[in-house]
Amino acid sequence: MRRALFPGSFDPITLGHFDIIKRGVTLFDEVIVAIGVNSDKKYMFSIEERKAFIEQAFADEPKVKVVTYTGLTVDFCNDIGAEFILRGLRNPADFEFEKAIAHANRRMATIETVFLLTSAKTSFISSSIVRDVIKNHGDYTKFVPDSVRIN
């Protein structure tokens, strides 16, 4: 069983994340979307909301599971038997950041990080841009799956 962990904050999930997960499903038997819980970070959406947004977006995709975790990503991978970490790369800044994390993870565990280049159409989207658009009452629906709706 080829199981990949796709870790992140997903505050909220965007069409960029959605694209990476969809493409990950074609490469792996199971893609576990893992929402990291960091008590030092302030989030716009609660962990329950973030989880529900992702679950609803992939309600028709049995290969996608959504979980939350604390602690080191590699430890969580070992706990659940995931041999791969899936990450998206948008730009050179992502590359430099991800490279350091992937090297550190590799030093700590025998887990391969697999990078997918983002699709051109969604490469500019980030959760922080979406949060800014929401805060300023803009049309955020262009950047997120239909499951992300704010009352």
Residue ranges in contact with ligand ADP by CB under 6 A: 8-10, 14, 16-17, 20, 87-88, 90, 94, 118, 122-123, 125-127
Catalytic pick among 39, 41, 42, 107: 41
Do the annotations mark residue 113 as ligand-binding?
Answer: no
- Six-digit token pair at 32? 């576990």
Catalytic residue flag (residue 46): no
Do the annotations mark residue 103 as ligand-binding?
Answer: no
CA distance linking residue 52 with residue 5, whole number of Å: 18
Whichever of 30 and 53 has its CB closer to ligand ADP, that residue is: 53
Whichever of 29 and 97 has its CB closer to ligand ADP, that residue is: 97
What residues have CB less than 8 Å from 143, skipping those under 6 apart?
Answer: 14, 15, 125, 129, 130, 133
Catalytic residue flag (residue 106): no
Catalytic pick among 23, 63, 90, 131: 90
Closest CA to 111 of 78, 147, 144: 78
Residue 151 carries which side chain, given as an amino acid letter? N
**Would you name the residues annotated as active-site residues?**
17, 41, 90, 127
